Chain A
Amino acid sequence: MIAVLALLAGVLLGVWLDPTVPSALQPYLPIAVVAALDAVFGGVRAKLDGIFDDKQFVISFISNVLVAGIIVYLGDQLGVGGQLSTGVVVVLGVRIFGNVAAIRRHLFRA
């Protein structure tokens, strides 16, 4: 599957290159990763549901990442960056749990 291959390629690339995160991106990268994970789990669930749509996945992926980053940036500008990051992580975590639960029901019928 190309997605898994691409994920592995990205992991290997990250291990191989081992870059340092620029300090300007450091507050946003973890949130962006969590948002992307949310999109990926949503995509997997949609795939199992048989309603996976490429464009929808791409757009939701990008928009998730962008919105999460913008929220954190806004929080930083407002002085509530830490709390807002926590809120974003909580919301995304809830969504990830829901998607994982759906995937689990699909895979194990339980």
Chain B
Amino acid sequence: MAGASERNGPAEAAGRSDGSAPGRDPGTPKSPDATAGGADPVVDRGEVSADDGPTVRLSTTDDGPTVPLPGDDETVPIPSAEAAEPPAGPVSAGRRLLPRLTAANAMIGVLLALLGFTLVVQLRTNSTDASLETTRQEDLVRILSDLDAQEERVRQDIAGLEESQRQLNSGAEGRQAALDEATRRADELGILAGTLPARGPGLTVSFMPVSKPVAASRVLDAVQELRGAGAEAMQISGGDGATVRIIASTYFLDAEGGISVSGRRLTGPYMITVIGDPKTMQTALNIPGGVVASVSGDGGNVAIQEREVVDVTALSPPKDLQHARPVS
């Protein structure tokens, strides 16, 4: 080998005048570079470049290119310009691939256009559609179950709140009813105790002296008779216009020139205004030996007038209880 190289060396060196590379010359002079640049590095580095295997087959099928796309050759004139660009790299490969670059580049272009298209579409879909449309099925199922659980909790909350609302409502209604009842009772008791004015059907009973003044006992008899007949509110007024509400504690005394009702001095004629059932009270006053007969026998006169509406307006001041306490 050494002898052969020395033999070839001077022959070549004489022609090239290049003494530094005698060792490379003996083999094939230029073909190793071309083939190594074209085929071998592809095989070696093809696996490094993360592209999948069949590079050997591809490099061997250089001459029968682009079986699927023969028609694209004339449709893509640009690849020739593009192919002129890369000669910085493998010049020989680019020159050799020139005829099929058009079709392959068209394919690449189509693929990349598709990539850009889908990329934009996907980006747009993701950015515009934040809803569940792009969510996977199992994620949807999980979201659905989450929502179900949440709905259940919210339903329980609703039920509890409705229950408390119902309780509060019933409580409020109960309070309102109790308040109404208490108000009604207070009104009744106020009328009975003489602290509230009253209005209703009733009578006016006038005692007019004829021969001698009407005694307080007669007036008291009339009041008792009216109470027994169901009178609910009464007042007595004298001839001077003074009016006294007749309640449970009212007393009647004979006084000079008239009667004293609960300490108030009244002069005749007296008129009792009473609210109650007019027929019953009139009958009670007119019974034989009753109020009317007694007053007439004592030298007086009783006039009873039935009224649709009478007003008992006189009030009795409420009295503070000092000893009695309610028992609850």
**Which residues of A come within 8 Å of B, CB atoms?**
1-3, 5-11, 13-15, 18-21, 23, 26-27, 29-30, 32-33, 36-40, 42-43, 45-47, 49-51, 53-63, 76, 79, 81-82, 85, 95, 98-99, 102
Contact = CB atoms under 8 A, between A and B. Distances in A.
Interface stretch (B50-58, B189-197, B278-286, B316-324): B50-58
A37 B58 contact: no
B136 A27 contact: yes
A63 B51 CA distance: 10
Given A49-B45, A53-B59, A7 B134 contact: no
A32 B119 CA distance: 9
Contacts, number: 165
B108 A6 contact: yes
Interface stretch (B10-18, B78-86, B307-315): B78-86
Interface of B: 37, 41-42, 45-46, 49-52, 54-55, 58-59, 61, 65, 76, 78-79, 82, 85-86, 89-90, 97, 100-101, 104-105, 107-122, 124-126, 133-134, 136-139
B46 A6 contact: no
Contacts of B120: 10-11, 13-15
Contact of A14 (B51, B76, B82, B121): B121
Given A42-B50, A45-B50, A53-B59, A62 B111 contact: yes
Contacts of B117: 10-11, 13-14
B116 A6 contact: yes
Contact of A29 (B52, B79, B118, B138): B118
Nearest to A38: B50
Contacts of B89: 47, 50
Contact of A98 (B50, B118, B119): B50
23 contacts: A3-B108, A3-B112, A10-B114, A21-B125, A27-B136, A33-B118, A33-B122, A37-B115, A37-B119, A38-B50, A40-B112, A46-B46, A51-B41, A53-B42, A54-B108, A56-B54, A57-B108, A58-B108, A59-B58, A61-B108, A76-B136, A82-B139, A85-B136
